[in-house]
Amino acid sequence: MQMKFTKMQGLGNDYVYVNCLKEKVESPSEMARRVSDRHFGVGSDGLILICPSECADFEMKMYNADGSRGEMCGNGIRCVGKYVYDYGLTDQTEISVETLGGIKHLSLTVEEGKVALVKVDMGSPIFVPEQIPVKVEGDHAVNVPISVDGDEYRMTCVSMGNPHAVVYLDDIQNMEIEKIGPKFEHHPCFPNRVNTEFARVLDRETVEMRVWERGSGETLACGTGACAVAVASMVNGLTEDCVTVQLLGGNLKIEWDREKNVVYMTGPATVVFDGELYE
């Protein structure tokens, strides 16, 4: 078996990308576990397949490092935008990408023939508990209590195509995310597990966060997670409707156009290297 791939990263959230217009991946979950291994594999937070689509320009299929499928990936979809343009799969700078979290629209900013920045229409945030899904009382999960491992927290849950729980803490730099993250991920109130963002509001236009991703553990950044933190901060009245989200790997600009009910994410995408995998 031989398979060409490209390692890419968006703010340090790194995936192995395979062009499935040319390559065939028989068992994506198994391949995700294999390539993600940082000692015996390529080393990544997961695997992303770029596939043909019947309802959009391309389809993105994303797999976490543990082999589970994610509905959406914010950093990943920016890298897909860069890949399809830079590697000549399209010459368009406005493209649509099918995901399990819906069809997303991307605007590519090109500098010196290469994509430098990608703005993504991330669609509408969902606060309805059954649609996230999260088991809580009431018709939305904004600032609701949760007991985790004997400690009481308050969380705001939102789906950005995939499930997120946002928790505000006074000190996110020194928290034990490897200990607390998995307890949220596997908490019985999240039937499909959850991505958890630990956030702190710095001012009305800036929020910092760390993320424990479902299926991949702590990553340097999460695009859907940054959108979740931004809209959670907005609905809780903590920030304006346009914020900079500071992640371990860098910053994302997130805007919520409440009239259209659309969230926009703008950030970079980078090629690390091209490679080939053998048996």
As annotated, the active-site residues are 73, 222
Radius of gyration for the alpha carbons in the chain, expressed in angstroms and rounded: 18
Smallest distance from the beta carbon of 78 to ligand LBFN2T5F, in angstroms? 8
185 lies in the binding site for ligand LBFN2T5F (CB under 6 A): no
What is the rounded end-to-end Cα distance, in angstroms, of the chain? 5
70 lies in the binding site for ligand LBFN2T5F (CB under 6 A): yes
159 lies in the binding site for ligand LBFN2T5F (CB under 6 A): no
The strand pairing partners of 206, in sequence order, are 203, 244
Smallest distance from the beta carbon of 169 to ligand LBFN2T5F, in angstroms? 20
- In terms of CB distance, is 64 or 233 closer to ligand LBFN2T5F? 64
Residues 233, 243: Cα–Cα separation, whole Å: 9
Smallest distance from the beta carbon of 163 to ligand LBFN2T5F, in angstroms? 7
9 lies in the binding site for ligand LBFN2T5F (CB under 6 A): no
Residue whose token pair is 């979809």: 77
- In terms of CB distance, is 67 or 76 closer to ligand LBFN2T5F? 76
74 lies in the binding site for ligand LBFN2T5F (CB under 6 A): yes
Query: Residue from 159, 216, 239, 246 that binds ligand LBFN2T5F (CB under 6 A)?
Result: 216
Which is nearest to 97 in space by CA: 114, 117, 79?
79
98 lies in the binding site for ligand LBFN2T5F (CB under 6 A): no
Smallest distance from the beta carbon of 266 to ligand LBFN2T5F, in angstroms? 13
Applying CB under 6 A, what is the total number of residues that bind ligand LBFN2T5F? 18
Cα dihedral 137→182→50→277 (10° resolution): -170
* DSSP E strands, the chain: 2-10, 13-19, 46-51, 58-64, 69-70, 94-99, 102-111, 114-121, 144-148, 151-159, 163-168, 195-203, 206-213, 217-219, 242-247, 250-257, 262-267, 270-278
Per CB under 6 A, residues contacting ligand LBFN2T5F are 13, 64, 70, 73-76, 162, 195, 213-216, 219, 222-225
